[in-house]
Structure formats: structure tokens, C-alpha cells
Amino acid sequence: MSKQGKRRLELLAPARDARTGIAAITHGADAVYIGPAMFGARASAANTTDDIRMLTDYAHRFRSKVYATVNTIIYDSELKQVEKLITELYHAGVDALIVQDMGILRLDIPPIELHASTQCDTRTPEKARFLEEAGFSQIVLARELTLEQIKDIHRAVRTPLECFIHGALCVCYSGRCQASYAVCGRSANRGNCAQLCRLPYTLTDRNGKVIVKDKHLLSLRDFNATSLLGELAEAGASSFKIEGRLKNEAYVKNVTAWYRRQLDAVIASAPDKYERASCGSVDLRFDPNPYKSFNRGFTTYFLSERRPRSITSPDTPKSLGEPVCADTELHAGDGLSFFSKGEYIGVRVNKVEQGRPIAAKNIRIPSGTQLYRTYDYHHEKEMLSPESAQRTVRVDIELYHNRVTATDERGCRVTVPFNGTVDKARKPMDCRPVFEKLGGTIYRLGDFKQHIPEDMFIPRSELTALRRKLIEALDCNAQTTCPRPLRREENRDYPYPMQYLESSDNVSNRVAEEFYKSHGVIETGQALEKTAAGIREKAADTVVMQTRHCVLRELGLCRREGHRPAEPLTLRNSGGAVFRLSFDCEACEMRLIMPDKPSVLTDDYRK
């Protein structure tokens, strides 16, 4: 909350590396999140501390923030490594850590802000209130919440709430999916998910009857909350998060720019309530469109509906791109896709003749087929350009006979003395053009006032040198005055909302166990990943996935509508994974259970 009582709305973008993070900032992000060398929930998106330092230096010039994802579960043997890593990240300028392992709160680390990861599975006001009392400065809410549930949590806490608004959806409650580890020993809680939910499955009933064959029954569409950003802000969201730490730079540029426009519109509609969380205006050189980036089709998930009818992309886990309409202008190099007899087919456009695309390979597209453009050649070319956007900070300058003063939108104010060469002017000078030349800097000139005698002449070379000194002073002032809030203190007397934890609560080290017990937990259980043997001992009849997605509802077989399929139902994929389904209709949830200990691990799963 700002001093004026307005709530700051933060656009939070992903960064697979420093270059992508810089692109996100340039295209309008108020903050970015990035994985360090270890202990990030995307093991393939790791970055050195030096690269992260480069990103923080750039971000802080716009008062944007950088959050590092130290959000895996941690083993006892790794605690000292984590302490060392966090200390390095703090000195690299990172503004906050996104974490799920409560052991981190009790480590010997600098006073850096902590954010509760989506892996903490925060779905209730009670859980959110505990995390606030534990010392977290921001809470990432579960994706599955409705607007009303977010409102309830917002009423219970003062801590800023972070909500996902775009990107891939995990079918399971985050942090509670052990399917990948149970099937193939690859732990999602250790950043190595095998993405079993994106595979095709065959659904059978207790009699062996095939209900659906080889469909992507667990593969959700991508999230897109564009139409509900205003309602999300009204419900209490302060940070609006784009998923995608594995996405490329073109994706991040396009999607960040799209939501910058949308969120600015929300702020402009209620300027007495909201304000930007960072500084600088973004000048885009392209028209952003989320359909032009990777997407499996879009859904608003449960935000406005407790039980939406369809949220999956059952025919393919690949990108659908944008639907091709009659007025869509296609180009050579575009990628098109379509469905034919249930098969997803992709082709590249070799040329366009009289508005009709000619495929690079001999494929007949039946008349009336809905085409999708999965690759827009011209758009991607725009995204590859380093000139796709420019972000600048407004600076107002006043020139006096003996000094020049600059004030920028970050609140920085500097004065540089002038004692250079002066002469008699034949006519009044206009010094503004010299100070407008701010190319190569992050600044753009706003108001300019000169208070020099009409007969005073200052050589252009003197004014140019003065401008350079002024910009250097602004940069230095911005760096030294960049705010860095401290970590909130833990209330050690506040009780955890439950007294007993399960393996899905992911306690994997003695410090986390001590943390929970000090807050009144009697039994902590152990994370399934705690020992290598644990998977063999516990996998049978273990719930490995809990989700608000329901296969029955998706297929029009909802029990609440009177359908009675012959249960138990079983999901099986070609890799040998088998799950028994159970349904809690009161909570409108589905669970996947490992009926047998895993026996066959295919090469695909071992990768």
C-alpha cells in the first residue's frame, strides 16, 4: 500500500534467464521471478548469481523487483547450501524469495523478504493468516480459487495476495502432486516433473469397458484471466502473475505487453484505488495478442464458476495458437494446424496464392476445417527484434545560470552545479533541444524550464556535458535510494490451522519439522521423496493427485446430474502408469490413486 492509501498492482512476469527477465521489464513487468542455480521448481531454468545480479541492476532502475524461486523441498544435507545460496542472492540485489519449505524461515539467512509459493497450496483464510503471521510478505494463492474465495482470504489478511492470471495450469493442487515421483521417481517438488498430466489416457470402468480411448483427459487448457482482471483486483489481488519460466523470450514479450495494457486500463478506471507498482512508460512497436503465443486454448478456470463444464484440451497438449478467420492474412512461413479424424496435424505454409495457403507438404485440408495459426512468421519476427519495445522514465529538468536540477517519476532529485563558459547572447537561447537528446538512456524529457538571463549564452558543448553529468547523477541517486523492505518477523506463538500433516504437506527436513511443531503441529509426517525407498514402500494405494478437475463432469457423466458410471474407474497410459479414480462430490474433487506399486518405468519416464 502506498502512502496515499492506494493499492499497488503488480504485473509479475516469468524469466527463464536474465535476458528474458530484462525483456519482461522492458515490456512492462513490475516484477519478474527467476530460478537460481539450485532449488528452483523448474530445474531446467537455472541461472547463475552473476546473471541474476545483472537482472536486478536493470530492474531496479525502473523500481521493478526481482524474486528468486527457492521453492523446492529441501533435504537435511542441503540446508547449508541453501543458506549460502540465499546469502548470495541477497547480495545480488534480489528483492524476495519465493519458497515452499518452511525450514527456510529458521535458517541463518539475511533479512530478505519471503513470499509463500503456490506450492504451499493456500486455499483458505486460515492458511493465509498463518503464513502472514509466520512472516511472509506476499502469498501466492492456489490457482483453483473462485473470486469469492479470494475475497474471503483478502478479508482475513493484510499481506498482498498474488494470483496467477495466464499460462499453463497444473491439473493438481500445486505442491500436492506426487504422481510424477510415484510413477517414475521424478519429483515435481524437486523441480523435475515428468508432466504425466499431458499424456493421453484410456478411461475404463470396473467391467473393463472403455469409456474414452487415448485422450488427454488430464491436460488442462491454458489460463487467461484477461476478462476478469478488474474483478480480481476488486477481490483483493495485488500481484498478477504470468506462468512460464520455461517459455522463450518472444512469449514473455508478447504476453507481458498484453497484460501491461490490460492492467493499466484497470488502474486508469479506478485511479483513487490503484497505482502502478513500478515506474516508466512502455512504448510498444507491435500489437500484443495472447493467441499468437503458445496456448492450448484458454479457460478462466474456476475464477467465476465453481463447476465449469469444460476446462481440458483433450485432443492435444500442443499449442492451438489463434483461430484462422476469413479475414486473417496468412504469410509464407506461418505454421498452421487442424484436426482431422481426431488427429492433430501441423503444416508450414510454403506460399500464399490469392489468399489461399499452400502447405510445404502435400496435405489435403478438408473443406470447412477450422484452421489454427500456431506460428505467425511476421509476429515472431517482430518479437525477435531488440526494438520491439522501449521503456523510459520521465524526468523534469530546470536549468539555472549556475546549476541544473532534475526530478524523475521515481522520486529521485539531483542538482549538478554549473560554472562553465558563458557569453553574451544575441537572442534568447532555447536549451530544451540539448536536454531532449536522451537516446541511449532510460530517460525521456518531460517538463523543461530554463531560468537563465535572456542575454546569457551557454555553448552547446557545455550544455551537453551538463546533461551527461545530470544523467549520471540521476542513475547514482536511483541506485542508492532504491527501497528494499526487510523480512517480516515471525509470530512464533501463532498456531498452525491443523495439528496433523500428511506426506503431501512435503516436510522433508528436521528444521521444517521443528518449525511446524513449534506452531502446535503434533505429527508432521514425511514427504514421499524423503527417502529413495519411500516410493516403493508407500506408492500402493497412495493418493498421488488431488484436483478440482473432474473427468466425469468433463465427459458429461457428472454424478450430481444423475449419472452412475460403473466404478471404480481407471486411467491408464501407454507408458504403464495406472491410476484408480475416486470422487468427492461434496467437495467437487477428484483423486488419483496408485492401485499398485510401480513396476514398469519406460525410457520416456526416466529422462
Structural domain includes residue 77:
yes
Model pTM score:
0.94
pLDDT band at 537 (very low <50, low <70, confident <90, very high): low
Can you tell me the distance from the alpha carbon of 108 to that of 480, in angstroms, rounded to the nearest whole number?
26
Can you tell me the distance from the alpha carbon of 175 to that of 142, in angstroms, rounded to the nearest whole number?
10
In 386-501, beta strands by DSSP E: 389-400, 403-408, 413-417, 423-424, 443-451, 456-457
Can you tell me the distance from the alpha carbon of 590 to that of 195, in angstroms, rounded to the nearest whole number?
18
Range of the domain at 378: 315-384
Q: Is the dihedral of CA 558, 562, 563, 564 positive or negative?
A: positive
What pLDDT digit, counting tens, does each position of 259-272 carry? 999 999 999 999 99
Can you tell me the distance from the alpha carbon of 122 to that of 414, in angstroms, rounded to the nearest whole number?
45
pLDDT band at 355 (very low <50, low <70, confident <90, very high): confident
Q: Do 266 and 342 belong to one domain?
A: no
Q: Do 378 and 409 belong to one domain?
A: no
Q: Which of 384, 405, 426 is the last residue of a domain?
A: 384
Segment 296-324 shows an average pLDDT of 92
Structural domain includes residue 559:
no
In 483-566, beta strands by DSSP E: 542-547
Can you tell me the distance from the alpha carbon of 342 to that of 598, in angstroms, rounded to the nearest whole number?
31
Q: Do 321 and 462 belong to one domain?
A: no
Q: Tell me, what's the pLDDT at 15?
A: 97
Q: What is the dihedral of CA 542, 545, 548, 552, to 10 degrees?
A: -70
The cell for 297 is: 486454448
Structural domain includes residue 568:
no
Q: At what angle do helices 147-156 and 125-134 cross, to 10 degrees?
A: 40
Q: Which of 384, 412, 441 is the last residue of a domain?
A: 384
> Which has the closest alpha carbon to 76: 464, 500, 369, 510?
510
Q: Which of 345, 367, 384 is the last residue of a domain?
A: 384
> Which has the closest alpha carbon to 374: 324, 330, 337?
337
Q: Do 271 and 319 belong to one domain?
A: no
What pLDDT digit, counting tens, does each position of 119-178 carry? 999 999 999 999 999 999 999 999 999 999 999 999 999 999 999 999 999 999 999 998
Looking at the 3D structure of the chain, how many domains does it have? Answer: 3
Q: Do 248 and 348 belong to one domain?
A: no
pLDDT band at 594 (very low <50, low <70, confident <90, very high): confident
Segment 516-536 shows an average pLDDT of 80
Q: Tell me, what's the pLDDT at 493?
A: 96
CATH number at residue 64: 3.20.20.70
pLDDT band at 100 (very low <50, low <70, confident <90, very high): very high
Q: Tell me, what's the pLDDT at 531?
A: 56
Structural domain includes residue 290:
no
Q: Do 64 and 160 belong to one domain?
A: yes
∠ CA 544-549-552, rounded to 5°? 105
Q: Do 329 and 406 belong to one domain?
A: no
Q: Do 409 and 362 belong to one domain?
A: no
Chain centre distance of CA 11: 9
∠ CA 75-197-311, rounded to 5°? 125
Structural domain includes residue 25:
yes
Three-state DSSP class for 600? coil
Q: Do 354 and 440 belong to one domain?
A: no
> Which has the closest alpha carbon to 243: 65, 24, 53, 22?
24
Above 70 in pLDDT, residue 595? yes
Identity of residue 413: R
Exposure on the CB side of residue 403, measured as CA atoms within 13 A: 6
The cell for 273 is: 484505488
Q: Do 379 and 262 belong to one domain?
A: no
In 155-236, beta strands by DSSP E: 161-167, 201-204, 210-215, 222-224
pLDDT band at 365 (very low <50, low <70, confident <90, very high): confident
Structural domain includes residue 42:
yes
Q: Do 438 and 374 belong to one domain?
A: no
The per-residue pLDDT of the chain, averaged, comes to 92
What pLDDT digit, counting tens, does each position of 6-33 carry? 999 999 999 999 999 999 999 999 999 9
Q: Report DSSP letters for 345-385, one per residue.
A: EEEEEEEEETTEEEESS-----TTPPPEEEE-HHHHHHHH-
Q: Are 475 and 100 in contact (CB under 8 A)?
A: no
Structural domain includes residue 567:
no
Segment 449-474 shows an average pLDDT of 94
Segment 371-380 shows an average pLDDT of 95
Structural domain includes residue 103:
yes
What pLDDT digit, counting tens, does each position of 227-247 carry? 999 999 999 999 999 999 999
Q: At what angle do helices 79-91 and 49-60 cross, to 10 degrees?
A: 40
Q: Tell me, what's the pLDDT at 602?
A: 43
Q: Tell me, what's the pLDDT at 538?
A: 53
Q: Do 434 and 380 belong to one domain?
A: no
Can you tell me the distance from the alpha carbon of 169 to that of 370, in angstroms, rounded to the nearest whole number?
25
